[in-house]
Amino acid sequence: MTMPKNLNNLTAHQIHKQLRERSITATEIAEHYFTRIENVDPEVRAYVDVWREDGLKKAAEVDDALERGDDPGPLAGVPVGLKDVLCTRQGYTTCCSKILDGYRSPFDATVVEKLQAAGAVFTGKLNMDEFAMGSSTENSARQVTRNPWNLKCVPGGSSGGSAAAVAADECVIALGSDTGGSIRQPAALCGCVGMKPTYGRVSRYGLVAFASSLDQIGPFTKDIEDLAFALNAMCGRDPRDSTSADMPVPDFTKSLGQDIAGLKIGLPKEYYTDALNPEMREKIEAAVAALEKLGAKVVEVSLPHTEYAIATYYIICTAEASANLARFDGVRYGYRSPDSGDVRDMYHNSKTEGFGDEVKRRIMLGTYVLSSGYYDAYYLKAQKVRSLIRRDFLQAFEQCDVIAAPTSPTAAFEIGEKTDDPLQMYLSDIYTISVNLATLPGVSMPCGLTKRGLPAGLQIISKPFNEETILRIAHAYEQNRGFDMGEPPVSAAAH
């Protein structure tokens, strides 16, 4: 079935407007996107489960509501994909791991409930690094997702399926999770917008935990206005999540279009070193210059404990992972090894056969740093350094309103390029992990294409619960950046 070209590039706010003008129906939109998934996803491999029947049913309900004159919600008819780390009663929730193969959740995550209430049409579950552990989506037990800008390259991770689906126009919004950059880094590599909200701004109830003090759910979108729409629907206090902040939720769309003259943008000197690819640096500096032309002031700031961030992160996140993943034992749910003589064998064999190499690596590291002989030397010391990293940011924000930084040190790398060198893979998150350690909000947005035609990402960070200022500056840049990203080759070829 051939659908009009213009449906590919519709944003959520355009869908919102056109549905109410009755120039399009939710069913037309849903049919288009499910047909597009069918045509494009065999190359991109973003989806692990497609919910066509249920999606069309929800779209029909939206159309019926509009016919009656009811308001079906701010995201009515918008196709939304879900990272496979979010619990849903619909379909399976496997975290792209063999150990959860065939698992069906008895409840929906809070964000899923909220988006459902806002009228979203869910398209299915999206591929990810197993248990959100990775920076390339090559650690999935299901498949390797490919970057729509170059199918030989990774989409980033761990939310690579979510980023690739938005970039390839296989959904309009996608949800991911960000533990150390797992929304912002794939957003940068795939040329879309991705935000990690402040820790506590969005409920984590129903998010399968990797590292509980770092994990945060956030959206991928096509532009900043869609990001504001998504945040309005997702944010808010949830009594089922003890880490959910009891903070008022503003209307984020009101941040858009405001003047940014006089706002101060900090450039951390520790981020602009030889570790940053020269082409990436050029794109970031051009973006900052564009913001200066709009009246923003640029100041240099310092984050002196940045050099300890990766070591600190991999101690804390692996320690929390080893505790969180202890529950996957082959007893209550998920995979159970058939070759087990007794309970000890069952535990050992189920975990050995069910977990992938990266998950095992992190469980072993985490168990080690939590062990009685090493707890003080590693885990306790890492928590102290984490406090210093957070203090660095808070002191920097006394001098500036936001920090502008690269999202990734390089553009997308080729599939298989870093799989044999975990330390090089870990360095992919060098500019993102500090934001999680300091529980801050941050967004990544496109700031141009490299000579190889791969996206570069600009990261904007601010103090806790200051998403409004981030959106204000990001939207101003987006509207005045002076270039058009165009479409990924996989999208253009599918027209």
pLDDT in tens, 118-160: 999 999 999 999 999 999 999 999 999 999 999 999 999 999 9
Q: What is the pLDDT of residue 179?
A: 98
Query: 315 and 431 in contact (C-beta within 8 Å)?
Result: no
Over residues 464-476, mean pLDDT: 98
Domain contains 15 = yes
Average pLDDT, the chain: 95
Number of domains in the chain: 1
Q: Is residue 366 included in any domain, yes or no?
A: no
Under the phi-then-psi rule, with left for phi > 0, alpha for psi from -120 to 50, and beta for the rest, what region is 229? alpha
| 269 in a structural domain | yes
Cis bond before residue 140 (omega within 30° of 0) = no
Structural domain including 271 reads 5-305+390-494
- Of these ranges, 330-334, 346-350, 456-460, the one predicted with the greatest mean pLDDT is 456-460
Q: What is the CATH number of the domain that holds 195?
A: 3.90.1300.10
What is the per-residue pLDDT for 268?
98
SS3 368: helix
Name, in order, each residue with C-beta under 8 angstroms of 53's C-beta and a sequence gap of 6 or more: none
494 has pLDDT over 70: no
Mean pLDDT of all residues in 448-459:
97
Q: Give the Å distances, CA to CA, from 309 to 260, 284, 394, 440.
A: 31, 22, 16, 14
| 310: Cα separation from own chain's centroid | 19
Among candidates 321, 17, 392, which has minimal Cα distance to 179?
Answer: 321
This prediction's pTM: 0.96
Instruction: Using CB atoms within 10 Å of the CB of residue 381, give its burial: 0 to 12 exposed, 13 to 18 middle, 19+ buried.
Output: middle
What are the DSSP calls for 453-486, one per residue? S-EEEEEEE-STT-HHHHHHHHHHHHHH------
- pLDDT of 55-112, one tens digit each? 999 999 999 999 999 999 999 999 999 999 999 999 999 999 999 999 999 999 999 9
Catalytic residue positions? 83, 158, 182
Residue 281 forms part of a structural domain: yes
The answer to whether residue 311 is domain-embedded is no
Domain assignment of residue 52, yes or no? yes
Look up tokens 């919102």; give the residue.
Answer: 16
433 inside domain: yes
- The predicted model gives 324-339 an average pLDDT of 90
Strand, helix or coil at 437?
helix
Residue 82 Cα distances to 73, 79, 255, 299, 367, angstroms: 19, 10, 26, 38, 30
Distance of alpha carbon 411 from alpha carbon 428, whole angstroms: 10
In a domain, 345, yes or no: no
